[in-house]
């Protein structure tokens, strides 16, 4: 967003997770599953359904963010305020953003809203042939749901260079 390749309204309209989609964001023919984790935790992706990493082509990317608590960092509340300001020219987009925040369980009065963090690392992984994942069509009959973790140390061959990732997002 900060590089200006796509507007806030377009990304907000592509934010589909709160509406029940299997992946978080869909823009420019690309599906993004966004993961966030504290840097103090073991590096892993927490997958919450058999559908989350199901893709028939190379259009699915997992974007993994590692954060640290930081006195001079950014809070979720400040980020939401900044996005709301960017959406000020479109009342419809502002309302849609607020609707999706509510659907995602955001509570503006919760303590976590003012905690500050800094982004230590962002890594994008292409979900393609050989990516370690469980998908509905490949689990034994009778298994109807699964939650699992993937060790990030097993994903280095699927990492996408930052410039390539930015180009993918731009379409």
Instruction: List, for residues 11-22, the tens digit of each pLDDT value.
Output: 888 999 999 998
Is residue 93 within 8 Å of residue 86, measured between CB atoms? Answer: no
pLDDT at 169: 81
Residue 28, classed as helix, strand or coil, is coil
Report the pLDDT averaged over residues 136-147.
Answer: 94
What share of the chain in percent tops pLDDT 90? Answer: 76
Which tens digits make up the pLDDT trace of 68-97?
Answer: 999 999 999 999 999 999 899 999 999 999
pLDDT at 57: 77
Average pLDDT, the chain: 91
The sign one gets for the Cα dihedral 84, 9, 66, 166 is: negative
Strand partners, 122: 65
CA pair distance 46, 138, nearest whole angstrom: 19
CA pair distance 88, 120, nearest whole angstrom: 30
Which tens digits make up the pLDDT trace of 21-43?
Answer: 988 999 888 999 999 999 999 99
CA pair distance 96, 19, nearest whole angstrom: 11
Check pLDDT > 60 for residue 1: no
pLDDT at 4: 53
> Residue 168 — very low, low, confident or very high, per pLDDT cuts 50/70/90?
confident
First to last CA, the chain: 14
pLDDT at 3: 54
* Location of structure tokens 């309204």: 9
Which of 12, 166, 6, 28 is closest to 100 using CA atoms?
A: 12
Report the pLDDT averaged over residues 126-145.
Answer: 94
pLDDT at 11: 84
Q: Which residue spans within the chain are E strands per DSSP?
A: 25-27, 30-38, 44-47, 60-75, 116-126, 148-151, 159-160
């Amino acid at each position: 967003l900060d590089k200006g390749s796509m507007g806030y309204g377009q990304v907000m309209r592509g934010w589909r997770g709160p509406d029940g989609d299997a992946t978080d964001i869909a823009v420019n023919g690309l599906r993004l599953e966004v993961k966030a984790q504290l840097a103090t935790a073991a590096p892993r992706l927490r997958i919450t359904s058999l559908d989350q990493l199901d893709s028939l082509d190379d259009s699915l990317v997992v974007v993994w963010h590692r954060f640290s608590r930081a006195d001079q960092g950014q809070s979720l509340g400040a980020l939401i305020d900044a996005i709301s300001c960017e959406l000020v020219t479109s009342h419809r987009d502002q309302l849609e953003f607020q609707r999706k925040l509510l659907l995602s369980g955001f509570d503006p009065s919760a303590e976590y809203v003012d905690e500050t963090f800094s982004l230590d690392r962002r890594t994008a992984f292409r979900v393609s042939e050989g990516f370690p994942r469980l998908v509905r069509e490949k689990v034994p009959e009778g298994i109807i749901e699964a939650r699992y973790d993937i060790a990030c140390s097993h994903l280095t061959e699927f990492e996408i260079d930052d410039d390539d990732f930015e180009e993918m997002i731009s379409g």
